Structure 1
């Protein structure tokens, strides 16, 4: 029931997100393509695409609360909330992993003698600043929404019907990879590794913080680089990755997962639900009345009547 409500709610939420910018563009007299769709620019198209994914985040939380009658925070972690300090630690590790990935990819690309796209040019500073502000606002929501939908909602949903974590991890990883479209086999494999590693981290650490951190930092770094090079209109994603980019991405993701798991073992990090209810409905107040006084009892006597 929850999956159906979430799916319907997501489709309904997409309608105004997609139609409103198009209506504004038409009203403003924007140029249209051959199909009559207004051309709004790469920045607006990117913002709409990110927002259309970010809207899944509140829908997951609302569905958990209203349909499953459980605290929305139980999607975040076993303690019913986001563990912000742990998220901060994971963000630093994710930043290091992303820098390593970018450095390795540039090194291997140069070593293989592959051609670099010479058409890329640096965007103007005002455009970069405006786009950066938009990306900083939307990319974290978009990446977190995907983690909540796949590593939170879907992983928990499948896990309620099977024993053990491996099948739920595999199912959500396959659906996660498929949801990003089909490009190269190497790119799809990299998405499977990412989905599987972050799913394993969700189980191993008892929450979504590690996956959110890696997803946010990697996506934000990629989008910021594309914005700086004025390539936001490019449709190239990890799905279309070459073999060496996919292999390096999978390697760094697995390395990040190993480091995070090792660090989690050394910290007082909750990985299973505590033995106390996370959600207590208010109990009805039953009126109480004082006990009636005891009834008098007849004491027999030896006095004559």
Structure 2
């Protein structure tokens, strides 16, 4: 596989499709079609496998056609069906895209682990603020005692282990698909970062289903802010960090109560109070990341070429 070639002036994140000089108009379209087809096939195989195991074990059949393996196992299957997208989208970058999969992580051609850790630390405060705020919002159950029954430490710890293993991969998969592949696929044709960020944000919100108007708008804001931070910092680390902690919080709270993981509600179903609190904490996180970016200066453009390569002078005897 050809490594990324330095661009004469360096490329922003959304223009990384041009980093090797092999970009063609059909490569993003072909990569998207192959990715969607592979996702569909693998999810059908996963469903068939789980259905066969459930039928052989004589488990209760669910309305969607699957079998009830229990809240934790059902959640693990749902997370796995999304996590499958991560290796597939990297394969789409490598084969139809004809460039290094690392160019989807950042303009540096790799995932910048030190910057990722800094972003994770920056996300702790906004996520903690959101947790406390959500507990005191109307209809949260804090005042009326409507919280579900505690599942017990054994079940809760087992759930946390499963979630800790799968949620980071599931959240990263969504970021690599929406903030990564889609942003760069659109950015291959447009120079404006906002035209590259807007389509993925709309598709990200739509992929979570239509619940409430405020829930959809909250997801749209998340997609716009995460996409803007991706281009502003030159990589997916900031978006992945916030997405991972948000999802760990949501699934962790659900795992603490009986039948919490069995709920079909997503962020798209959020009431206006929770959606507004989520948007405020997302903007707070963006401010913290920008402050860190000014201090640590993560690479925003791909490395420029050192200069034009001149032809060697002929050797005269």
Aligned residue number for residue 250 of structure 1: 279
Aligned to 1:129: 157
Check whether the contact 2:218–2:275 (CA below 8 A) recurs between aligned residues.
yes
Alpha-carbon distance in structure 1 between the residues aligned to 2:155 and 2:141: 32
> 2:103 aligned with 1:105, yes or no?
no
2:263 corresponds to: 234
User: Could you list the runs of 5+ residues in structure 2 that have no partner in the other structure?
Assistant: 1-29, 307-316
Match of 2:82 among 49, 53, 72: 53
Distance 1:33 1:101 in 2: 33
Instruction: Name the CA distance, whole Å, in 1 between partners of 2:242 and 2:152.
Output: 29
Deviation at 1:108, TM superposition (A): 3.5
Residue of 207, 227, 238 corresponding to 1:199: 227
Residue 224 of structure 1 pairs with residue 262 of structure 2: no
Could you tell me how far apart the structure 2 residues matched to 1:206 and 1:93 are? 17
Could you say which residue in structure 2 is the equivalent of 1:162?
190
Counterpart position of 2:68: 39
- Listed as ranges, the gaps of 5+ residues in structure 1 are 278-293, 295-305
Cα distance change of structure 1 residues 244 and 68 upon mapping to structure 2, 3 Å threshold: same
CA shift, 1:237, in A, is 1.8
Q: Does 1:272 align with 2:301?
A: yes
2:148 matches 1:120:
yes
Matched, 1:30 2:64: no
1:7 to 36, 49, 62: 36
Closer/same/farther in 2, CA of residues 114 and 103 from structure 1, 3 Å limit: closer
Instruction: Measure, in 2, the Cα distance between the counterparts of 1:113 and 1:98.
Output: 19
Max Rg structure:
1
Q: Which residue of 1 aligns with 2:118?
A: 89
Q: Check if 1:215 corresponds to 2:215.
A: no
Report the 3-state secondary structure (helix = DSSP H, G, I; strand = E; otherwise coil) of the residue aligned with 2:136.
Answer: helix
TM-score normalised by L of structure 2: 0.83
Mean CA deviation greater in 135-144 or 2-11: 2-11
1:57–1:108 CA distance, 2 compared to 1 (3 A): same
> Post-superposition shift, 1:124?
2.1
Relative to structure 1, the CA distance from residue 114 to residue 134 in structure 2 (aligned partners, 3 Å threshold; closer, same or farther) is closer
Q: CA offset at residue 126 of structure 1?
A: 1.7
Distance 1:107 1:30, change over 3 A: closer
Deviation of the 1:35 alpha carbon: 7.3
**2:96 match:** 67
TM-score by length of 1: 0.86
1:88 partner SS = helix
Q: 1:209 to 1:129 in 2, by over 3 A?
A: same
**How far apart in 2 are the matches of 1:117 and 1:257?**
34
Equivalent pair of 2:59/2:69 in contact (CA under 8 Å): yes
Q: 1:5 to 1:87 in 2, by over 3 A?
A: same
Quote the residue 2:169 is aligned against: 141
Residue range with higher mean Cα deviation, 265-274 or 186-195 = 265-274
SS in 1 for 2:209: coil
Deviation at 1:265, TM superposition (A): 2.0
Aligned residue pair count: 278
Structure 2 distance, partners of 1:187, 1:35, is 24
Residue aligned with 2:159, SS: helix
Higher relative contact order (CA 8 A, sep 6+): 2
Q: In structure 2, which of residues 201, 214, 228 is the aligned counterpart of residue 173 of structure 1?
A: 201
Distance 1:145 1:34 in 2: 27
Partner of 1:183 in structure 2?
211
Counterparts of 1:35 and 1:78, CA distance in 2 = 42
